Amino acid sequence: MKTFECPIQPGWREVLALYGSLSPFFKLRFLIRWKHGNPFERLEEQVPRDGRIIDVGCGSGFFANLLSLRVPGREVLGVDIDARQIQRASASVGQRQRIRFEVCDLMRESLPPCDAVIFVDVLHHLTFDQQDHILQVCRQALRNGGELLVLDVDLNPRWKYWYNYIFDSLTGKFGITQGSALSYQSAAEMSQRLKRAGFAEVGITPFAKCDLAARVLYRAVKTAKPG
């Protein structure tokens, strides 16, 4: 299977500069989120370079901002249930016209039509029932041919799984990340979950070459239902 090389030119300074004057806690939170295996740089290369891209569970907008800075032609929407996070993300936009952030609870609301939906370390913070519902919402929003990209934690290798469990438990306790479900699942289980949500083909790519977390990238394409 194909694996990804470690990034050569990180863009975290460029993104961090969008947030202006920062408290030491915010800087620490940013660096922990960004530098924990540094998945953002590698993942950005896998995202479509045009169309409307929705980052679900965007938090303070770190990855959504990277998508916008790297390819200004993308139309980027970041959504999150936390109004405080969205307020901070919105303040980072400046004069850019093709990126915005909105408060959205996908257990009660829908998404606008889009060409790609992305989850970065989000689904394992939700219960399995919540995952099933939100994946259905995302499939409904995707145009035919649109892509769903899910970066999440696998159960193997086991030492990486336990590392991630401890890391998520600690960051949740101190308020750095949100969600307490910690509903991890194997790559095979996640693939089946995506197929039950209506995605016929699911690609699975290991994403942990230089990552302490056992991350896997799932890529699913929406196709029209027959008949």
CB-count burial class (<10 Å; 0-12, 13-18, 19+) for 101: buried
Distance (Å, rounded) from C-alpha 15 to C-alpha 182? 28
pTM exceeds cut of 0.95: no
Q: pLDDT tens digits, residue range 85-127? A: 999 999 999 999 999 999 999 999 999 999 999 999 999 999 9
168 SS3 class: helix
DSSP bridge pairs for 117: 54, 148
The alpha carbon dihedral of 18, 23, 26, 32 has a sign of positive
Question: Which of the four CATH numbers 2.170.150.70, 3.40.50.150, 3.90.960.10, 3.30.1050.10 does domain 12-221 have?
Answer: 3.40.50.150
Domain boundaries, the chain: 12-221
Which DSSP string do the residues of 14-37 spell out, in sequence order?
A: HHHGGG-S--HHHHHHHHHHHHSS
Alpha-carbon distance of 6 to 3, in angstroms, equals 10
pLDDT tens, 127-185? 999 999 999 999 999 999 999 999 999 998 888 889 888 888 887 777 666 655 799 99
